[in-house]
Every structure is written in structure tokens, then in C-alpha cells.
Amino acid sequence: MTQVTIIGAGVAGLCTARVLLDRGARVHLIDRARQPGPQGCSWWAGGMLAPYCEGESAEEPVVRLGQQAADWWAQHTTSLKRCGSLVVSPARDTSDLTRFARRTQSHKTLTATEVEALEPDLGDRFATGLFFENEAHLSPRTALAELWRGLVADGATFEQREADPNARANDGLVIDCRGYHARADMPALRGVKGEMALLSCPDVSINRPIRVLHPRVPIYLVPRGDGVYMLGATMVEGRASAHASVRSVLELLSAAYALSPAFGEAEILEIGVDSRPAFPDNLPRIERQGNLIRANGLYRHGFLLAPALATMVADLILDAKTPEMFHETTA
């Protein structure tokens, strides 16, 4: 039986552990935290499984591989919702909506009446919109917790401590899934700062992720249930600082207010900041050096691409199949 040690229990590490365990491997997880929490960027994810929307700016593999995500997560979390995605823009920015439609697929153009019928609490503020019916979303925190519990219940073992993948590379097969924390070992890896807010606004009922296009501050709003919404997210090149900037929070909250004035009375539950790990092409990579495999670079597509990345890692280990995202390394 194949024995694998995975370092890093964010979405990449947990998905990889799940796929390997399901295919008969013995899995040992090492992470600096006792369980999934705010110490990693997976905790602050939007949870949108929106491959077609991402096609507006992402590379083709994101759209293609991301289409597998909703079915995979449906098997592993109770929080998956298949309600589609709605994209809108203020009247002055309809050219952005036209461009978005041109660069994406699998959507329907809605009239103002149809937008209001889909999301009544948006009222008549938007003259048109794009509806991506086949997209989904989930609660990242619920999904991570359920993955964690399922792995432990099915025999995976866990160790809480800091770990150096290089120090264990000769002790058996090791998979490094540390995200941005692996930057010293992956020189091409960079951090893209994200800032987001968790809001409580019981006066608004929105059922699906809403993307509001704006030439300067595009936002997304994702329902978490019980009147709670994730609002995000800025993208700033460079390592995350410990706190969000006043400008970013002001822009996010102003955009939410423009979406619905009721958000002016929302309570701010949390403000989150972290670094998304990304390579120059903004696509994930799998590297191998002997018994050490590094799987990293999910960028802003963590929950969307982690199942595909995990499957590629398992195919490499168990079937000696070279992954699509494989990068040769001599270091």
C-alpha cells in the first residue's frame, strides 16, 4: 500500500488526501494548525464554482478543469448549492457587461424584469444581466471541516506541527501543499493579496453569487445562509500584510451598497486578508524531485481547481501518469 505524507491542510492538501485515500493510499497529514481555520487562504475563499465566469480572464484549463468541481464537491460537502451565477453592472458600465459576455460561454442574457424575477431584492437597479445557470457555490469553511472529518473517520492520520518537506523527502513520498508558505522552495511563486469581508444583512435575501462589474472595483457577493454574505475581493500583487487597507474596505463596502442600499445597515462580522499563491501564468503546477512532489499555485481558483489538481497528483503517484500541470525541475 502506498504511504503518503501531505504537508499543508488547506484546500489543496485536503483534496489531495481525499483522492489518494479513496484510491487506496495511506495518508498522513501535517499542518501547523490543529484543524482548518483562518491561518490559511482557503478559509477566506469565496467558494464560487464558476468556471464559465472565470473564463472572462482565466486561461482555458481553468474553464475546462473547473467544470469537474461541482460534482466532486457534491460528494464531499453538504453546503453545495447549484443556483447558478448572476453577473450585472451599473448602467454606466454596460460596456463591461458586453465584454464579459463576449469572453465567456454558457450564459443567458436577462432583461431587467428577468433579473428582478431571479433576485427580487435587487429590485429594478439593473437593466440587464448575464445568468450562468450551470454554476454552483459552497461554503468553504463547511467544506473544509467536512473534508477534514471524513478523512479522519476513514483512517487518515494527522500531526500538528511545522514541517520542512525537504527534510522528509528521503523518508517516503511527501507532497508539499503549503501554498504561499512554500515560496522559498518555489522561486516562481508569488503572492496575490486578497481582502474580503463577511457581512450580516438579514434584510437582504440573495440566493446565488452576484458579480458586479466595475472598471476599477469589480466585486462578488456570495450567500452563506441566514443573511450572511461573503464580499470580495481585491487582488493586489505582493505579499499580504496583516490587515486590510482602508481604501480596499471602503471600495468593497461602497460597491456592496451600490448593489443594494440595504447593505448600508449590514454588520461587518469579519475582515480577512491573505495571499493567494500564484505562478506567472496563474495556473497550478505539479513538480517532482525524487520522493518530493510539490502541488501549488491555485491562485484565486482554490475550490474550483483543487479537485482536478488532486486527481493529477494521484495519477502521477499511482499510475505514473504525467499530469497536464507538470513542470520539470532540476533543483
- Can you tell me the distance from the alpha carbon of 72 to that of 4, in angstroms, rounded to the nearest whole number? 22
pLDDT for position 37: 74
pLDDT confidence band for 178 (50 / 70 / 90)? very high
Number of Cβ within 10 Å of residue 24's Cβ equals 10
pLDDT for position 63: 97
Q: What is the Cα Rg of the chain in Å?
A: 20
Helix 140-153 vs helix 11-22: crossing angle, to nearest 10: 40
Cα–Cα distance list, 6 to 159, 163, 210, 285, 315 (Å)? 10, 10, 35, 16, 16
Is the per-residue pLDDT at 54 higher than 90?
Answer: yes
Please tell me the pTM assigned to this model: 0.94
pLDDT for position 298: 97
75 against 194, higher pLDDT:
75
Q: What is the mean pLDDT of residues 198-213?
A: 96
Q: What is the mean pLDDT of residues 188-197?
A: 91
- Structural domains of the chain sorted by starting position, each given as residue range(s) with its CATH number in brackets: 1-80+136-185+280-330 (3.50.50.60), 84-132+189-276 (3.30.9.10)
The one-letter code for the residue type at 125 is R
216 against 227, higher pLDDT:
227
Is the per-residue pLDDT at 214 higher than 80?
Answer: no
Which range is most confident: 241-250, 270-279, 294-303?
A: 294-303
pLDDT for position 274: 85
Q: What is the mean pLDDT of residues 308-327?
A: 95
Paired sense of beta strands 48-49 and 326-327, if any: unpaired
pLDDT for position 181: 92
- What residue spans of the chain are helical by DSSP H? 11-22, 51-54, 60-66, 69-74, 94-103, 112-118, 140-153, 246-259, 302-319
Among candidate residues 86, 324, 295, the one with its CA nearest the CA of residue 209: 86
pLDDT tens digits, one per residue of 119-168 = 999 988 999 999 999 999 999 999 999 999 999 999 999 999 988 888 76
> Collapsing DSSP states into helix, strand and coil, what is residue 164?
coil
Is the per-residue pLDDT at 86 higher than 70?
Answer: yes
> Collapsing DSSP states into helix, strand and coil, what is residue 158?
strand
pLDDT for position 227: 96
pLDDT for position 168: 62
Query: What percent of the chain has a predicted confidence (pLDDT) above 90?
Result: 76
pLDDT confidence band for 83 (50 / 70 / 90)? very high
- Average pLDDT taken over every residue of the chain: 92
Grid cell, residue 193, equals 493579496
Is the per-residue pLDDT at 330 higher than 90?
Answer: no
Residues 6+ away with beta carbon under 8 Å from 295: 12, 16, 175, 176, 177, 284, 285, 286, 309, 310, 313
